[in-house]
Amino acid sequence: MAWSQVGARKASMKFDIHHVSARQTVASTEASVEDVEQGREFLRARVEALVAALPESPVVAGSVEALQVEVLDPTSEAVITKTRSATAGASLALNHFSEGDEQMRSTTHSRASSVNVPDMPGGSRS
């Protein structure tokens, strides 16, 4: 036994997953991605309108376009990509947990009827 294990207790983990609430959270998060996409399109349209309104100011128009291309587009795309990845992973994990719960429930139910209950001395069975 290593010195770090002396007196150590085995850690246990307990998962208490509320599938309905978790799925609602994932769905809500997925809906918020759509809001971000709509916001990105709205912002793109506003940048185009601003650039079109600045024909006499090519430096300012170029700066606004650069802001769109170098900051706004990559940032919004990163948010959308990371959120979609997270929700897909969460959905997959929820499916696995749900399937595992159903399998345990089914196994427990099928084996409960075959449990051997011995007669106890002095007891009566009804």
- Mean pLDDT, the chain, integer: 85
> Residue 43 above 60 pLDDT?
yes
SS3 labels along the chain: CCHHHCCCCCCCCCCCCCHHHHHHHHHHHHHHHHHHHHHHHHHHHHHHHHHHCCCCCHHHHHHHHHHHHHHHHHHHHHHHHHHHHHHHHHHHHHHHHHHHHHHHHHHHHHHHCCCCCCCCCCCCCC
CA–CA gap between residue 122 and residue 126 (Å, rounded): 13
Q: Between 37 and 12, whose confidence is greater? A: 37
Q: Between 17 and 67, whose confidence is greater? A: 67
Q: What tens digit of pLDDT does each residue of 46-55 get? A: 999 999 999 9
Q: Kindly indicate the confidence band of residue 7, based on its pLDDT and cuts at 50, 70 and 90.
A: low
Distances (CA, A) of 80 to 16, 39, 69, 76, 77: 29, 11, 16, 6, 5
> Residue 32 above 70 pLDDT?
yes
Predicted confidence at residue 105, as pLDDT, reads: 87
Predicted confidence at residue 111, as pLDDT, reads: 79
> Residue 1 above 50 pLDDT?
no
Is the full-model pTM beyond 0.85?
no
Predicted confidence at residue 121, as pLDDT, reads: 64
Q: Between 5 and 120, whose confidence is greater? A: 120
